Homo-oligomer: A and B are copies of this chain.
Amino acid sequence: MKKITYVTGNWAKIASAKQYLEPLGYEIDNIKIETPEIQSDDVTEVAKYSAKWAANELNIPVIKNDTGFFIKHYNGFPGAYMKYMDETLKVDGLLKLMEGVEDRSAYLKETIAYCEPGGEPIVFEGKTEGTIAYESSGEYGWGIIDHVFIPKGENKTLGNFPDEERWNFWSVQAYLDLAKYLDDKDKTFMK
C-alpha cells in the first residue's frame, strides 16, 4: 500500500485526508513535527516551503497544509497570520476592527502542499467565502475564526457545526484535487 505522511497533529485534518485518499489505496499516517516556516502573507508559499523541507528531512512523500483567513475591507488581513491574530488581538480585537465596517465579507483558504523527496511541492487549494458575524458564537472549533465566520449560504458561524461537519466547509476541494492528482499519477505510472 502506498503511504503518505501528513505533517500535522490535528486529527480533523488527518480524518479529512483519510476520507478522500484511502479509497484510492493510500495509507495516511501522520507525524507532528515543527517545520520551518517562511514569513509570508501567502499561505501557499508557507505550505510549499514546509512540505518540501519535510519531504527531504523525512525522505517520504508528505502532505502539509496551511489555512489563511482574509478580510476584504482590510486588504486580506490577517491572511497567513491567522493563528497569531488569535493569540494577540483575540475575538474582541477582531470584532472591534469590524465596527462600523460595511463590507464584512471574508474568506477562508485552505492550501494543501504535496511533496515527494527530492521533488517540487504541488499545491491544491480550497476556498470558502462568507461574512464576519456581529458577535462571537458557537461551541465547536479551535480558533476565533470558528466563532465569527459565517460560511456563505449558512446563517450561523462555523463554531455551531460539530467537527465532523465543520471541516467540510473549507477543505473538500483541496483534498478532492489532491486525490485526483494522485489517481491520475498512478494511472500514468501503470501505463
Residues of A bordering B, CB below 8 Å: 36-41, 46, 74-81, 84-85, 87-90, 93, 96-97, 99-100
Contact = CB atoms under 8 A, between A and B. Distances in A.
Given A36-B38, A38-B38, A81-B84, 11 more contacts: A37-B39, A39-B40, A41-B88, A74-B88, A74-B90, A74-B93, A75-B90, A76-B88, A77-B89, A77-B93, A96-B99
Contacts of A46: 39
A127 B14 CA distance: 43
A99 B84 CA distance: 21
Contact of A89 (B39, B74, B80, B87): B74
Contacts of A37: 38-39
A35 to B, nearest CB: 10
A74 B84 CA distance: 11
A97 B93 contact: yes
